[in-house]
Amino acid sequence: MGMVGGGNGAFIGAVHRIAAAINQDVDLVCGVFSADKGRSLESGRSLYLDEDRCYGSYEEMFDCEARLPADQRMEFVAIVTPNHLHFPVAIAALRHGFHVISDKPATMNLQQAIELKGAIEDSGCLYALSHAYTGYPLIKQARYLIEKGELGNVIKVVVEYSQGWLASKEDEQSKQASWRLDPEMAGSSCCIGDIGVHAANLVEYVSGLEIAELCADISSMVVGRRLDDDGTVIVRFNNGAKGVLIVSQIAIGEENNLRLRIYGDRKSIEWSQQEPNTLWLRSNTEPTQQIRTGVGELCLAAQMATRTPAGHPEGYLEAFANIYKNFVLQIRAYQRGEKADSKSFDVPGIDEAIRGMAFIENTVEASQSNMKWKTFSVN
């Protein structure tokens, strides 16, 4: 693995490195950890990398790595930069023949995401998006229960993603906040683009449904901000189900409260990211069932995503690692000349990237419109 971004002091870069290392099948061999060559070198040294493979730009890294023998060069790159660099770095990597795993959102706008799909197809390389919450074992079990009809027909969805880390003007001073609130670096949205897209992706992944229409109200609750920090989106799904998506980064006291509830006409499920090893299955006619990670006969996908015996809590890093695990399996299949599509390996890919950008743009547009309902468009 090579890495672009994620130098000393960066949050998500370290998470990616830990997630990749958990599986014991990925080595970080090179990187450009800062636009400043000196800082990039300093970060590389702290990671015990060869100084000759700590680069000053992603263009330099791709050029140099592509010239190395096949058994020495990196095989894929992790893009962990602010949003505005995701697209150009991915395009450059694909042109040099490297597979890509990128943070979300994949691009700055929907048109770029569509262009990126074309570049992926032209290159023949693989692409993954780090929607890490889909990696939890019980999220996979929830998806399985819905697929086999345990809930009946899905009729109602409620998803909430609440944080409080941007609740005051003073919170804007951190590096993580400054670029997320800058339209030039973050794109058209902060809250929807940062966490709302995770919530939307999780809903579609678990339910198997797609958002068809939406009505949105997003806003900046802290005076002077150029991008949103709070929002509510009412959605209609392609099967006629209704839903509400609530996101906030100004909810004081909230940590990383991602909570999903899906109601069918027979049963319902509930899952919370802050208690990820428990899934609740409820009914009006049967006792409520508590499903626990590693206990009983869970579906194959949940079993494959579980790493420790029951009672040993698994969380965010392990879920993140499952994205890497599946992506590596996909790359190995690709190298063997086998079928290596994203869905077969349970890897969020370019289609999820496009729907994510469509969700962001449609939500921003709907919030600015006086129309009640906006048709969800992906072109």
> What letter represents residue 80's amino acid?
V
> What does the pLDDT average to over 346-357?
98
Residue 225 pLDDT: 96
**76 φ, ψ (degrees, to nearest 5):** -150, 165
b/e 278-305 (16+ beta carbons within 10 angstroms → b): ebbbeeeeeeeeebebbeeebbebbebb
Which residue is associated with the tokens 């392990």? 318
Under the phi-then-psi rule, with left for phi > 0, alpha for psi from -120 to 50, and beta for the rest, what region is 40? alpha
Q: How confident is the model at residue 379 (pLDDT cuts 50, 70, 90)?
A: confident
- Residue ranges and CATH numbers for the domains of the chain are 2-125 (3.40.50.720), 136-310+355-368 (3.30.360.10)
In angstroms, how far is CA 18 from the centroid of its own chain?
16
Would you state the pLDDT for residue 206?
A: 98
List beta partners, residue 246: 160, 232
- For 138-164, the pLDDT digits (tens) are 999 999 999 999 999 999 999 999 999
Pairing of strands 127-129, 275-283: unpaired
